[in-house]
Amino acid sequence: MASLSIMRVLRFMLGPPGVPLWIVLAFDTIMLMIVLGVLLLLLPKTVLAKSKLVRVARNRLTRWLGRIVELSMQGPLVAGTVWLGKKLGKGRLSSVPKAPHGISVKADSMYEVTVKISPTKGWNLFHEEDFVVAFARDGTDVWAERSFSRMEDCEDLSGSLKKGDRFKMVIPGLPACTRIKFRACAVSYWGRGPWGKEATASTMAKPSADLGFTGPLGPAWEKTGSDKNEYTWLQTRNEVHIRIPIGKDIRGKDVKFKALPHRIQVDLAVGESLQLLHGQLAHRINSDDATWYIDESKDHGRYIQVTVFKLEALERWTRVFEGDEHPEVDPRLIQWFVDPLNPGTLGDLDE
């Protein structure tokens, strides 16, 4: 009986009479690969943990199969079926939307913030969804909302091979120099999905007449004898100046200054040494050229002035220090003066 069973298996593997041998061998090879692939996918974790070679083979097989499915979903037959289903179903074939699994925000100007959303994609090829973005001042729960059509108002950032993985939209009309939190949800024919995680961003500020702005000082400001807890900064085509207000009792010996290519540190040594202004620079500088001195004027009173030189002339600095606590100014409002009588020059830059 055993020999008879073996003969039947061999006859089956050799195929029907008259079939060329190369076809039989190709068929048997394909069947063997399918069986081995199924067995490899069904192996328990205990077996995978014992052999690195088996784990690598299974991971490669999984990626290969995933790639085949991904490419097949982009074929003309599937694409045509999906288009027809969406056209005839008019959204009824969509699923209940899920919360986006990712959101990032970035200020573009004084009044605009770019929001990028990564929707949670499911198995339903006929699913269609739009988005709602809500925003509120950080620290409050008074939310405003804007609706965005995925096809008309959003830019698909995911590329041609993975459409629908990431979308970009712009929120206009926001208050300037304000910390704002954002959240998003998806909307389909069956209603809204849950809100995703929140993300925050600060809109840009309007630069001062000197093309700068203000920022917070460290805890040592209370020892300066001044009632101001902010520094001011301004810029020219070649230089950036930082002014730290101080009282009449502060002397040069009370100030400790250190400049690095990416960092500036100003300490006040009145009793114990305290941080007056520490920060990571938003732009690289030549630390050897950085200077400081104490000055006084009618408009600003007494102050420590720190001067650094730009590595690139005409570069528009939007902030001096990195960090959300240091406001960023709108670069579109930073314009260098051009002498109207000599438009081929850049004013005092050529002097």
Q: What is the mean pLDDT of residues 120-145?
A: 94
Q: Looking at residue 278, what is its pLDDT?
A: 96
Residue 252 has pLDDT above 90, yes or no: yes
Residue 280 has pLDDT above 90, yes or no: yes
Residue 7 has pLDDT above 80, yes or no: no
Residue 288 has pLDDT above 90, yes or no: yes
Lowest mean pLDDT among 40-44, 155-159, 176-180: 40-44
- Mean pLDDT across the chain, nearest whole number? 87
Could you tell me the pLDDT band of residue 292, with boundaries at 50, 70 and 90?
very high
Q: Looking at residue 345, what is its pLDDT?
A: 47
CA gap 230, 206 in Å, rounded: 17
Q: Tell me the domains of the chain and their CATH numbers.
A: 21-72 (no CATH), 102-202 (2.60.40.10), 213-350 (2.60.40.790)
Q: Looking at residue 31, what is its pLDDT?
A: 80
Q: Count CB neighbours of 312 within 10 A.
A: 9
Could you tell me the pLDDT band of residue 348, with boundaries at 50, 70 and 90?
very low
Q: 222 by DSSP, 3-state: which?
A: helix
CA gap 197, 105 in Å, rounded: 12
Q: Looking at residue 177, what is its pLDDT?
A: 95
CA gap 255, 226 in Å, rounded: 15
Convert the pLDDT of each residue in 13-64 to its tens digit.
Answer: 666 666 677 777 787 788 878 887 888 778 788 877 888 888 888 888 888 8
Residue 351 has pLDDT above 60, yes or no: no
Q: Count CB neighbours of 47 within 10 A.
A: 12
What sign for the dihedral angle of Cα 117, 73, 129, 173? positive
- For residues 78 and 86, the answer to whether their CB atoms sit within 8 Å is no
Lowest mean pLDDT among 46-50, 126-130, 312-316, 340-344: 340-344
